[in-house]
Structure 1
Amino acid sequence: MPDSDTPVTKVSQVSPDLIRKYIDGCHILHYYDLVDAYGHLSVRLSPSTFLMSRYMAPALVAWPEDLVVYKVEDGEPVDPNAPRGFSERFIHSEIYKAYPDVHATVHSHSLTVIPFSISSQPLSACFHMAGFLGCRVPVWDMDTVYTDDDHRSMLVSSTRFGMSLAQALGGAGEGGRGEPRYPVVLMRGHGMVVTADRIEMVVLRSIYTAQNARVQQSAIGLGGAVKLFTEKEARDTGGTTAQGAVKPWPLWKREVENSTLYQNLA
């Protein structure tokens, strides 16, 4: 997490440890089928800047040269000569703008989650590793934002679209904290956005959101009543998961290190 208000404007200013962790995060998300050639991870560098990879598949991110520093203000690269970036970087810039305590964001096209974005059945916490989802994950429908002149690609390709998506996270949490009310929001027919205070946590939440969706779909398919978590169960299990968030990271890191597909050369 940023430890000062000094803007980090160059990749060379980013700590090597954070760069390595970012690259590992990209690889882990791919290993667990949260991203393929598409989808992305970002991390806040300072109140006014954040880091993402250039326009490339997350599994192939390997070098500091693959990374770009962006401005929270408008989602544009600090360096006007930076390599091409993702058209949906505005997801990240607008979330960081709206929620000062969010320091890591994932955008995923998880196929286990998308059915809940187009169904009347809400995604809800139903097993103990995903209590952070709460009793109902909100769904953002881009159709409510389009004007007649918009190209309806379903891509969050402007600050206007990104702002609307950020608002769907529910505004500031209890006590006016700078984090969203909901850590996860589904995007109709598109995927999801996951937020957290650090890379390890946002990767964990992404993995267990998809696993919760798989468990819930399996339970629905059995044909009987499905008993979901109560608000207190979701809150208490979510807190327990947060306390143990560092435990799986060394395992996940070792898994991607042992695959020849992934290279972390930072």
Structure 2
Amino acid sequence: MLISLSIFLVTGAVAGLLAGLLGIGGGMVIVPALVFTLPALGVAPEVLTQVAVGTSLACISAISISSARAHHVRGGVIWRVFAAMAPGLAVGALAGAALAHVMPSLWLQRVVGVAALLVAVKLLADIAPAPHRDLPGRPALTAAGGIIGTLSSLIGIGGGSLTVPYLVWCNVAITRAVGTSAACGMPIAWAGAVGFAVAGWGLAGTGPGSLGYLNLPATGGIVAGSLVFTPLGAALAHRLPARALKRVFALLLVVVGVRMLWG
């Protein structure tokens, strides 16, 4: 148990550093780490990936508050866009949890692996959408939130990899797109965590200290490590080469993605 707690703290620290350094959410780090470590806590293979994804969302639900607040203080959150997208994000996150619940664990693991490889390609190629249109009306933003929420909840991320490109495509400046995306991570993570808790309620094999698919000891360790190291990552962001760091992280994601696909 002590070794597992140490791993969770280190996972949180790495996720926090990456969030601070690169503005990248920790889900792509947290989910694979949990898939590799949760079996030591008695989590059964049949529900392993569901517990990893649900626990990742529980971690992000706590981390996203401080992230959104930091961007809000700097005027980086467009709250009217958040308000329009939030209902879709929340409903989509619940749908993603329901979809994950009915998928075999190994299939879900491979979906996460594909997502890791796609994010790696995006980072290595430095792909960014060109602005092509203005922000649409509330119904379209809510619908976009539904799609983003579903996909993000399914793989246990806060949605930044999807929300930021969408907002930039809609002519939102990158700094405000990142800030608004940070706020959008809250309804995704909160609703997704609730969905995974309910979906996994009473199931066998989720391990001790679990609330449905949420593993509370892992959540506590990861959140503690992340909250401590995120400010350090933000401070280092002004001193270290972001492009080189992105490439290193992308290569890590390639390794993780292949390992997740391999099963």
Fold shared, TM-score > 0.5 on shorter chain: no
TM-score when scaled to structure 1?
Answer: 0.25
Greater fraction helix: 2
Greater fraction strand: 1
